[in-house]
Structure 1
Amino acid sequence: MEQLDAKQRWEERYAESDRIWSGRPNARLVEVAPGLTPGRALDLGCGEGGDTVWLAEHDWHVVAVDIADAALARAAELAASRNVLDRIEFQQHNLTETFPQGSFDLVSAHFLHSPWDWDRDALLRRAADAVAPGGTLLIVDHGEAPPWAQGVHDHRFPSVTEVLDGLALDAAQWERVRVEQSEREAQGPDGQSGTLIDNVIVLRRR
């Protein structure tokens, strides 16, 4: 029942507005992906499809996953409008219960946070397991709440070290390509300017 409630809550969140996210790809994905050879990508928590569509436009074949049917429908609509629907497979998963099958050259998890209790470390370990040899795991978290966010400033986001500890990966099997906290300038949903802090983890399976 708790997991069903999580899906219902996200569906209600998307029902609040015709569009929640900007539709643009996440900045860290745009930084990292051009250095990779396009192949098969997994976008965990794809939302309304900004990252998914960008990857498809850059020659990746993408499995796009979200818990909310509303998010997947909006992502598919965006993909169709950009003529990349044939490069994307949309899958609905509650990632605490089910996970896409297969291996991927890129597994991307951007801001995969939840206000509800869940075993995020276990999910990220499954994400790492899905990375093919030579592939990349990209995890981007909020280092702290965006300055324009409402009601989340008391939420504690995990540090880079905590995420790595939770992954518990064998150092002999994984190369740390980029592990850092990084600032960037961004605009909020109402045009506000502010500095965002991202925790960026880029790991390559040897």
Structure 2
Amino acid sequence: MSDEQAWDARYAEAEHRIWSGNPNVELVTEVADLRPGRALDLGCGEGADAVWLAGRGWQVTAVDISGVALRRAAEHAADAGVTVEFQRHNLEQTFPDGEFDLVSAQFLHFWAEFDREKILRRAAGSVAPGGVLLIEGHMDHGPFAHGDNEGKEIHFPTPDEVIAALDLGDGWEVLTKAIHPRQQKGPDGDLITRTDSTVKLRRNGF
């Protein structure tokens, strides 16, 4: 099964959306004070972040590997009355063209092996001068460990490790690097606390 088929199957497990439909909390926190411009949402899933950004004046390009997720995202955008350009990409192979004032990678994880660092370095290369790269990641599986991970050790990088792997050199400013708790509903509906990480960087220049 290809990565695309695996993600389509994951989203097709439910007849309707599998996520809450609300934007990620840290995205809202970290982006609220930014002036809207061009935004790229990597791994947009069912589109909640993209719709939130578009509703606040951003010109949004949102990409995902799953056609099932993208169809739901387009429906969400239409219901919200906003315009988002949705594109299907396997980000290890293809990437959207252009430069962006905000590039957001929210929980860009996969239960199988994939080159996350390569994708995030490509994301950094898509940030326009003066723009922001925002990376949100998990620090643990929480209650959602995928069956394929049983018996396997998976490393979730710290903010410092994320920044080091980007290998950006001069010309970038670290705005946020933090590990923090987040409440989330588990698969049984109970509210649980898990640990996430935030990296927010600004590319110097105008």
Q: TM-score, normalised by structure 2?
A: 0.92
4+ residue segments displaced more than 2 Å: 150-156, 184-191
Q: CA deviation at 1:106?
A: 0.3
Which structure 2 residues correspond to residues 75-94 of structure 1 after superposition, within 5 A? Answer: 75-84=73-82, 86=83, 88-94=84-90
Residue 168 (structure 1) aligned with residue 164 (structure 2): no
Residue of structure 1 in register with 2:40 after alignment: 42
**Residues of 1 paired with 2:21 and 2:36: CA distance?**
21
Partner Cα separation in structure 2 for residue 100 and residue 127 of structure 1: 10
Query: Which one is further off, 6-15 or 71-80?
Result: 6-15
Aligned counterparts of 2:145 and 2:18: Cα–Cα separation in 1: 14
Give how far 1:188 is off.
Answer: 3.1
CA distances 1:47-102 after superposition (whole Å, capped 9, x unpaired): 00010101011111100000111111000000000000x2x100000100100000
Match of residue 49, structure 2, among 44, 51, 56: 51
Secondary structure at the residue paired with 1:118?
Answer: coil
- Report % sequence identity: 51
Aligned pair 1:144/2:140, yes or no? yes
Q: Name 1:7's counterpart in structure 2.
A: 4
State the secondary structure of the residue aligned to 2:32: helix
Q: In the alignment, which of 18, 21, 25 is matched to residue 19 of structure 2?
A: 21
Aligned to 1:111: 107
Task: Specify the code of the residue in structure 1 equivalent to 2:12.
Answer: A
Instruction: Please list every run of 5 or more consecutive structure 2 residues that lacks an aligned counterpart in the other structure.
Output: none
Residue 25 of structure 1 aligns to a residue in which SS? coil
Aligned residues: 199
Q: TM-score, normalised by structure 1?
A: 0.92
How far apart, in 1, do the equivalents of 2:4 and 2:184 lie?
29
Cα distance in 2 between the residues matched to 1:166 and 1:202: 14
CA RMSD of aligned residues (A): 1.5
